[in-house]
């Protein structure tokens, strides 16, 4: 079954979406979209370093993304520049340094577009194993630290006073984000990873009444976006990564339609004139 490149792409993409949805909810709740973007951009530096040191690509990306997160925490403590400005510096500096390093390494031939926008149709069986095993590990870790992480998201003060150690949860969450970026890079691309984290989560918000519902719904909506995007890409011969993001966007826009009030409107229209 996995012989077909399209099936492999579908399996890999859905695997990434199932992990990205719940994690993306925390990114939305904690207002860390730009932070996620910065970690994702640093992945290109990870790619360059992995080629330079001849180590595993996903491993290199994970380590560099985690280091960028640590660097940000340390710079925040110094408190001289705002987090916003620090993110802007780190985000583009790591991307630019990665590009320059790759240009210097003339002996390495990399498909730059594939890294930036994803090359889901070149997904191998080994990639699928990495995505599903790595994704299962990330989801298990997220489930394990769900309560302290959610409590820290609602109020770090409460979590702290009641012994839930919010700082530990925060650092663990950053490592999970680095892991997701490392496994999702090939499918969706460095520049588009954040969208698969955020858009399904934002779409799920309208229909959820508890955080858990929103996480599950975001995973499902992400999988739907991947499926729709890939079929669209096959149909119209468009690039797969951007097509997935466009599908996610279409779902998000559809969630904004006032379907609920339309339904209520017709119901009251059929009722008494009052």
Residues ≥6 apart with Cβ < 8 Å to 179: 62, 134, 137, 138
Residues in the chain: 274
Least Å distance, CB 247 to another protein, is 22
State yes or no: residue 155 binds another protein (CB under 8 A): yes
State yes or no: residue 28 binds another protein (CB under 8 A): yes
Residue 30 has what DSSP assignment?
A: T
With beta carbons less than 8 A apart as the criterion, state whether 91 and 39 touch. Answer: no
Q: How far apart are CA 22 and CA 27, in angstroms?
A: 9
Q: Exposed, middle or buried by CB within 10 Å (0-12, 13-18, 19+), for 256?
A: exposed
Least Å distance, CB 214 to another protein, is 5
Of 28-36, 235-243, 248-256, 262-270, the window that binds another protein (rule: CB under 8 A) is 28-36
Residue selected from 113, 136, 154, 259 as contacting another protein according to rule CB under 8 A:
154
Of the two residues 45 and 150, which places its CB atom closer to another protein in the complex? 150
In the shown chain, the binding pattern of residues 205 to 224 toward another protein, with x for contact by CB under 8 A and - for none, equals x--xxxx-xx----------
Q: How far apart are CA 253 and CA 142, in angstroms?
A: 28
Q: How far apart are CA 127 and CA 5, in angstroms?
A: 12
Greatest alpha-carbon pair distance for the chain in Å reads 77
Residue selected from 2, 129, 157, 257 as contacting another protein according to rule CB under 8 A:
157
Of the two residues 82 and 155, which places its CB atom closer to another protein in the complex? 155
State yes or no: residue 197 binds another protein (CB under 8 A): no
State yes or no: residue 143 binds another protein (CB under 8 A): no
Count the site residues for another protein by CB under 8 A: 25
Q: Which of residues 66-95 bind another protein (CB under 8 A)?
A: none
State yes or no: residue 169 binds another protein (CB under 8 A): no
State yes or no: residue 153 binds another protein (CB under 8 A): yes
With beta carbons less than 8 A apart as the criterion, state whether 45 and 225 touch. Answer: no
Q: And the tokens for 137?
A: 């590990």
- Interface residue list for another protein (CB under 8 A): 28-29, 31, 147, 150-151, 153-155, 157-164, 202, 205, 208-211, 213-214
């Amino acid at each position: 079954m996995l012989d077909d490149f399209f099936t492999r792409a579908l399996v890999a993409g859905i695997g990434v979406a199932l992990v990205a949805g719940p994690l993306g909810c925390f990114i939305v709740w904690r207002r860390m979209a730009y932070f996620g973007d910065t970690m994702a951009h640093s992945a290109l530096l990870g790619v360059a370093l992995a080629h330079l040191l001849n180590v595993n690509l996903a491993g290199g990306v994970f380590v560099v993304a985690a280091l960028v997160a640590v660097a940000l925490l340390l710079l925040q403590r110094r408190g001289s520049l705002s987090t916003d400005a620090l993110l802007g510096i780190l985000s583009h500096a790591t991307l630019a340094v990665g590009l320059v390093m790759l240009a210097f390494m003339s002996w390495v031939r990399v498909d730059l577009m594939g890294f930036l926008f994803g090359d889901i149709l070149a997904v191998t069986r080994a990639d699928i194993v990495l995505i599903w095993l790595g994704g299962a590990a990330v989801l298990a870790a997220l489930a394990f630290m769900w309560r302290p992480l959610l409590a820290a998201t609602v109020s770090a003060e409460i979590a702290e006073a009641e012994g839930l150690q919010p700082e530990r949860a925060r650092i663990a969450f950053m490592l999970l984000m680095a892991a997701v970026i490392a496994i999702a890079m090939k499918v969706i691309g460095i520049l588009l990873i954040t969208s698969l984290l955020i858009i399904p989560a934002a779409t799920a918000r309208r229909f959820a009444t508890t955080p858990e519902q929103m996480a599950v719904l975001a995973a499902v909506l992400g999988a739907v976006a991947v499926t729709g995007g890939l079929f669209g890409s096959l149909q119209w011969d468009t690039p797969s990564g951007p097509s997935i993001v466009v599908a996610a966007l279409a779902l998000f826009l559809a969630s904004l339609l006032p379907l609920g009030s339309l339904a209520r409107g017709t119901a009251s229209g059929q009722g008494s004139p009052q």
